[in-house]
Each structure stands twice: as structure tokens, then as C-alpha cells.
A and B are shown apart, each in its own frame.
Chain A
């Protein structure tokens, strides 16, 4: 790989300037990149947020059934987000699946990540491949293959099969995310803990784990987001159980009720708030 990890040698031009060491910084010519790039970035953000703005706006639309044309402002949809049949059960299922899948995937994935970075063993390359391939497998294939297995084994489709399926695709993402964090850790820290008579378990709990925590949290968040948003794999393996995306997909056939907009908007706002709180907390911790 071409990534540069160490500072490059000084270029002759820089050295020359350094020797000269006089005068203000060379004035840069203003070229199109200076204003064009921020403009493109803003346009990309607009593209990302147009449908979200639409979703939020139409959560206040006074048209509970076929939420297509603007009929007037109302707060009714927000007052009773569970008015549409099955929507809140579906959200509850999604949250449960997301939490369970995230918990299992994070524990299994963190263990795999530590093993892969810290140990050299014979089938390490195979293990890496086994973790990479599920990420490169299309969701339809992942969903279809699990479905055929569950059908063959006679496992009834439902909540459990959805959780099992979600853990599979969350696991790989957790491993990759945590691996990057483990690689930044200095093994000498654990050695220091051992020198201070900490057992391996204590060293892990008091030294390694706190240092890994940011990576683990990021992995867990990613895992939850992937699980909560998944439709295709869920649709193959859920039987009669509805998750929120599946409920929306089915309900949209008859015209999407405004409750879907309310839930979508609320999830968006809650996620942003959680991130903001986390950011504030870390800023305060650093300041204190």
C-alpha cells in the first residue's frame, strides 16, 4: 500500500526556503478548488438531506392515511405515533433485535479482533478472509442462504432467526472497526500491568479494555445502526415478525401512514442528540 506513515524528507524547495528564511509566506493564487470544493460538499450534503427534510416535514402533515399531498400542519401524528396498527410493536422488535445482535456481535467481534492483531497463528489469513467475505456478499445472497438453511433444518422463522442473521453481518463490521483500534495499542502497556502483578484477566479489564473502549463503542454503534436499518436480510428470515423497515415496506403498498415519518424523524433526532451528548461529555471530561 502507498499510505505514508512517516514524514517525507524535506523537499529541496522547502529547504531552500528554510535557508532563505525571510519574507512572509508565499501568497497562494486563488484557484477554483478553493471555492468549488466547499460548494460541492454543500451540494452533497443537500442531496443527503433532502429526503430527510421531506420525511420530517411530512410527519406534520394532516393526512394520516395517504401521506402524499400537503394538507396542513398538525401535531396529531406526533401525539399518537402508535396509531397505525403494528408500528410500535415493529419498532420495539427492531430495538430488541438491534440491542441483542449488537451485544453478541460486539463481544464475539472484539475477541476476534484482539486475536487477529495480537497473535500470529497458522490459519490467520483464512480467518481474515472468513471475516471479509460476509461483507462482500450481497445481502440477498446472505439472506437467501440463511433462509435455505433454516428451511432445511426445520427451524421456524421468527425473532430468533432475525437476531442470528443480524449477528452474522454485524460481526464482520465489528471486527474491522475494533481491529484498527487494537493495532494502535502498545502491548508494552499490558506488559507493564503484568510487571505490576496484574493477572491476565485483570490486565485486560483495567488496561486493555478501557483503551479499546472508544473503538468498541464505535463498533457497537455501527452494528446497531446496520441492524436497525436492515431490510433485505430481515425480510428473508423473519417469517411473520415485523421489524420497523419491514413494516414500512409492507405499509407503503397501501400508502405510507404519517406514523412512519414520525418514527423515522424521531430516530434521526434521537441519534443526533445522543451523538451531541456524547461529544459534550467527552469535551467536558477533557476540560475537567
Chain B
């Protein structure tokens, strides 16, 4: 995913570079043999399912049929229900996702900077720190989230410490609160924030920073005017890779939250498996996807980078 961030993949042989065009690049005819297997897979198991999801979202129950039996229709009632009944859950999900993204950026940026810039020239240390960022993936994220539940539990060390210094009232708690859910989301998606920023900062030319200092900018101004803008593609990619999964997650809300912290993923999961209302679940999924596409499009426009693809 680090590379998803860089996005900056131009074809070899820039015409501006001069010289003859690279021989391996054949314009015009598509390399069907290379493309076909992967594209067919994506069409069969990504595009088609999304289309089926859309068709399902317009279905209605079979009159007199069993639970879970639906027939094709063109009913937009599911969408109306999805929005009127769950708009608060949608807002909460995006709010938690936004908070987790901001916190992950605050925690992740300095770490990415240290790995990419401060450790530059010491490849072993750099590699070691990168491995440490990715290593948590290998302890299952469910196991880690459950560990957080124990650490933040009422009888756990964190609650006792916070109560001792009166940050938390004597009957206060952390598990089953929105704080725990946001902390869990921040934690789980932190590597997705760090890696793209690392990739962007890895290309940072330190001579530009030096130039800023030579021109008598203080470190803060240098950061704001030189380093930050150059790391922006990584920041945009990292925030997307954090915001999208965080706002659609339901594991953290289930394991660390309470019914009041329910997120939209919980609703989709429950509608599929407990209520068995596939059309409504599909409609909610579609609204979620549409909302994310709109938010991402606006954000990417604003951030001024369109080189993610």
C-alpha cells in the first residue's frame, strides 16, 4: 500500500528525455494476454457483484414468501428507509472515521518522518523500523483489538491509572465507550497512514529543506512551506486508506463499544445475517459506497492531487 500512495508511475521513456522511444512500449494494440485474466477476475468478482448488489437493493419481499425470499422490482423504498432510519448511524460512522484519521495522522506523521528522513543513510535501522510498522499485521487484528479490550477493561491498568490521577471519575470506564472505539480504529489503521507518508517523504529532497533554512525560514515555516506540501500525496493516500476502512469498520464498534456506538458496518452485518433483509442491507451498502465516493472526490479535489490512480 506504500506504493499505492506514490501513485507516481509514469511510463518509461519520457518523450522529453530525448532519444528513440523505448522499444518495449508498443502503442495501440492492447496486450490482451496479460490483461485478460486479471480483468476478467475483477469483472466477474467485483463489477458483477456490485451490479447484483444494486439490483438486490431494489428488490421487494415475495408476497407470502419465507424470510429471505425476494423478487426483482424497482423499489426505491429501501433507499428511503436506509437514509431515514440510519442517517444518525451514517453520521456517527463518518465522524468516528474522521476522528480516527486525524489521530492516525497526528501519531503517524512524526513516525513516518523519522523513518524516512531522520533514518536516511542508515538502511538497516530504516528497514528495521519499517518492519516494526508492518509487524502488527501478523498478530491478527481481531487478537489485537481484543487485547485492547482487556487493557482498557474496568479492572485493567489504564482505567486504574486514570482514576488515580482523577482524569477518569471513580466509576468511569473506557471499554464500551466511543473513546475506546475511536482509539481502536486509530490503532488498527495506523500502518495504512504511516506507509504512504513514508513513501512520499522518502522522495523528499533534503536540499530543499536546507534551502529553506538558508533563506532564514525557521524550522516550523520550513516544514509548512517545503516538507508538508511535498509530502501531501502521501498524506492524501494515507488519509484515504485510513478513513475508508475506519468509517466502514464494525469490529472495533462491536468489541470495544456499546449499542450507542453502533456503526454502519454493524447495521449492514445485522441486516444480512440477523434480520435477513438483503434488499435493505444492499441499499445501505450502496448509500455507504456512494457517500464515500462523494466524500473522497471532494477531498481529493480540495487536496489538489489526482494522481492516486
- The interface of chain A, by Cβ under 8 A from chain B, is 1-5, 7-8, 11, 13-14, 31, 33, 37-38, 40-41, 43-45, 47-52, 54-55, 58, 68-69, 107-109, 111-112, 114-115, 117-123, 125, 127-142, 144-149, 151-152, 164-165, 167-168, 171, 173, 175-177, 179-180, 183, 185-188, 190-191, 194, 222, 225-226, 228-229, 231-232, 235-236, 244-245, 248-249, 252, 256, 260-261, 263-265, 267-268, 270-272, 275, 279
Contact = CB atoms under 8 A, between A and B. Distances in A.
Contact of B155 (A69, A179, A194, A222): A69
Nearest to B212: A11
A68 B151 CA distance: 10
Interface residues on B, range: 35 or more
Contact of B219 (A33, A171, A175, A256): A33
B34 A176 contact: no
A183 B289 contact: no
B172 to A, nearest CB: 20
Contact of A171 (B35, B42, B131): B42
A4 B219 contact: no
Contacts of B137: 225-226, 229
Given A41-B110, A112-B35, A249-B251, A132 B309 contact: yes
A129 B309 contact: yes
B245 A139 contact: yes
B23 to A, nearest CB: 5
Contact of B288 (A5, A11, A141): A141
A1 B118 contact: no
A102 B59 CA distance: 36
B30 A140 contact: no
B169 to A, nearest CB: 23
Nearest to A261: B143
A130 B56 CA distance: 22
Interface in B135-193: 135-148, 150-151, 153, 155, 187, 190-191
Contacts of A115: 30-31, 34-35
A114 B30 CA distance: 12
B282 interface: yes
Given A117-B9, A144-B268, A148-B53, A4 B208 contact: yes
A8 B205 contact: yes
B114 A37 contact: yes
Contacts, number: 333
A13 B30 contact: no
A149 B11 CA distance: 37
B24 A191 contact: yes
A118 B42 CA distance: 21
A17 B89 CA distance: 60
Closest 6 CB pairs of A and B: A138-B248, A13-B214, A121-B30, A187-B24, A51-B147, A145-B49
Given A44-B111, A168-B41, A231 B142 contact: yes
A49 B282 CA distance: 37
A248 B52 contact: no
A110 B214 CA distance: 45
Contacts of A14: 210-211, 214
Contacts of A267: 138-140
Interface string B28-69: 111101110111011101111110110010000000000000
9 contacts: A7-B207, A11-B210, A108-B41, A114-B31, A115-B31, A119-B30, A147-B272, A175-B38, A187-B22
Interface in B206-250: 207-208, 210-211, 214-215, 219, 229-230, 232-233, 240-241, 244-245, 247-250
Nearest to B264: A140
B8 A3 contact: yes
B297 to A, nearest CB: 10
Given A121-B28, A121-B29, A185 B12 contact: yes
Contact of A183 (B10, B23, B132): B10
Contacts of B12: 117-118, 183, 185-187
A97 to B, nearest CB: 13
A137 B296 CA distance: 11
Contacts of A4: 203-205, 208, 230
A176 B211 contact: no
Contact of B208 (A8, A33, A47, A120): A8
A120 to B, nearest CB: 4
